Chain A
């Protein structure tokens, strides 16, 4: 008895020691690698993007020579829509791209095109808004409480839109709104905002072949590429949309619509775009992967340096026709810390676009899990999954290990200082429970199933359409 216990203890100890040694060895080699990061295996790269201001880190890394500093010769190419962009990365036409956070996740779980895509770098926080047409705004406005100065009280909730939607439904007219992609942040944000105001945005049922997301819907959501949003709304096909900048400010400038709520107000400091590459690419070209992550981290830092001091220069770069290409004033409206809602109603939103502060670039597992919870909530994931599944998928797609290797080598090369990453020492990849949602529901990334059960509208544990 005693003998066996002793033996077991001995075994355990041995195992621990071996495991410890292994970890130590791994750390040693990894730190050695970090100390002398080799030349990139692949030097000529092509990155795709969609014309949105949050592609800025890529443009800045190019224009400021951060890519070249890493020995990378990058061509940047705008893509027609998110589907073309994703297919480009999957079939190798593009080496990497500015992606919606939901895209690598959905590709990995096989919703839409199945492919293993990872992300070592989260591109930004916030940066989207919901805009409605002038006609809808006129009808909505009467339902919104006013401040002392006569301007509407913010944040505007979907409660104000609900009577308008009901009126349209009573008249037998469908209420259409646009978002940019079925697994886009915008889809989930628009749904979150509508559902928080008790408007049903509809379920998906992929197991029945229904991927239009309109089951039980009061508002019908459809896909439109970002740059075409204002034109589509102007044509009357949709009454409103959720999109990134500058396409909300464009609506204000053109006088065709009014942004009602920013995603900062729906969920303060929500993760938005990521930089996606295939898993095969990361395995085949490890140095290239770390080097491009380094360049992007430096670009993100440049964008936020000295309290956004570089933003005007960034706006100038983005307004070039080969990047975002919209007018300087339109882009500047949201990138320089303000946001114009109704024409003339300019409010200060200093964190509307965050590129580096608040660890914006670190790929948190909890961010990936939030997207998974929303996919489950709206039926894109048909079946119940255990909490562990959510964590496994997040760990497959989000790769803080690559990020930290890049950060460490930047510190070693004295290109950035330790203090730039001080919050990330010992980071486990889960943000502390987040409170600032428009409906005051608290999100804890470690408990995805419990979180899903908190919503009034949406699938809950055990539900299946």
Chain B
């Protein structure tokens, strides 16, 4: 197929219209049918093996058990929202009563105290991973550019990066937790401590791939472009803006995509370990509950985590396509 495509592109062997349409259809069909077949086989294999594994919590959940749980979890979410509405109505009534007794009282609306549903947990995890990732990007990209441009800086910082890069952020977690508890003290904090802890953990693990890839991209820039910039004697900031950034976008995005993938994996583990709100906590809580539904709920969470990880990656790719001048670099 690629051979045909390249020929077409190069215009070496002009095809008849008919042939082109046929090849287009078969290409589309393949892109659709093959994955479908793969998923179907996987489902078959999954439900077959699931039914033959017996755990002390009952049978291993198959596709149908997971489907049931998806419905359950959404129902639970809706039920919780109803409870939330009732909570606010009760609170409002209580505030009014107190105001009637004590006119100087300033009514205050407190946020809902009920449990976080599965959908809430997904949202929490997503917000955490994206914020941690953005913080990392803000630090890593300028740092990477600086390192890539200056050999001196590179030699100075490289050993530190090499030492910290292989450290699992989970090893940092206890230290981060203690430091956050000690330093992040305010009577009315804007963010929860658990959120800050998770965010820093995500930042720590997203940092290194981005720094390394960015500096690599900058350092391996096409020398001709650098020379052009020199000839035009562009000021430093214009040089970075017009030459360095566009040239290293593909490498930066490779680093970002890698980071985001790692960050998402690490976040789930960190949430499990630190009991911070999010999908990881959901999985751990269900494991602790040990009810007959626990395994299928965990399985649902596992698939959700995978799906979200995939979507995050695709989003980054789409972003790269939009930002990059060289569209061919943004391939899967």
Q: Which residues of A contact B (CB under 8 A)?
A: 39, 43-44, 51, 62, 65, 68, 71, 73-76, 78-80, 84, 91, 93, 227-228, 230-231, 234, 250, 254-256, 319-322, 324-327, 330
Contacts and interface: CB of A to CB of B under 8 A. Distances in A.
Contact of B289 (A43, A79, A255, A325): A325
Contacts of B331: none
Nearest to B80: A322
A106 to B, nearest CB: 22
Main secondary structure of the interface of B (DSSP, over half): helix
Contact of B291 (A68, A93, A326): A326
Interface string B280-292: 0000111011111
Given A79-B275, A234-B56, A255-B56, A325 B110 contact: no
Contact of A230 (B90, B290, B291): B290
A319 B56 CA distance: 18
Contacts of B57: 254
Contacts of A326: 289-291
Contact of B285 (A91, A256, A325, A330): A325
Contacts of B297: 321
B227 interface: no
B181 A321 contact: no
Given A73-B110, A84-B275, A256-B56, A322 B115 contact: yes
A227 B275 contact: no
B288 A44 contact: no
Contacts of A71: 94, 98
15 contacts: A39-B98, A43-B108, A68-B94, A71-B94, A73-B113, A76-B113, A78-B285, A93-B181, A230-B290, A254-B56, A255-B56, A319-B291, A321-B291, A326-B291, A330-B291
Contacts of A80: 275, 284
A96 B16 CA distance: 78
Given A39-B98, A68-B90, A321 B110 contact: no
B193 A93 contact: yes
Interface string B176-188: 0000010000000
Interface string B104-121: 000010100101000000
B108 to A, nearest CB: 8
B291 A327 contact: yes
A93 to B, nearest CB: 7
Contact of B56 (A227, A230, A327): A230
Given A93-B193, A321-B115, A321-B291, 16 more contacts: A44-B110, A68-B90, A71-B94, A73-B110, A74-B113, A84-B275, A91-B181, A93-B181, A230-B290, A254-B57, A319-B291, A320-B115, A325-B286, A325-B289, A325-B290, A330-B291
Contacts of A227: 288-290
Highest count of chain A CB atoms <10 Å: which of B57, B115, B288, B294: B288
A449 B57 CA distance: 47
Given A79-B275, A84-B275, A250 B285 contact: no
Given A39-B98, A73-B113, A321-B285, A327 B292 contact: yes
A230 B287 CA distance: 12
A74 B114 CA distance: 9
A234 B55 CA distance: 11
Contacts of A234: 56
B110 A250 contact: no
A255 B297 CA distance: 22
A240 B193 CA distance: 38
A321 B56 contact: no
A76 B193 CA distance: 16
A75 B285 contact: no
Nearest to A256: B56
Contacts of A230: 56, 290
B289 A51 contact: yes
Contacts of A68: 90-91, 94
B290 A250 contact: yes
The 5 closest A-B pairs by CB, nearest first: A325-B289, A322-B115, A254-B56, A227-B288, A73-B110
B180 to A, nearest CB: 11
A220 B56 CA distance: 26
A378 B115 CA distance: 41
A325 B115 contact: no
A321 B289 contact: yes
B289 A324 contact: yes
Contacts of B193: 93
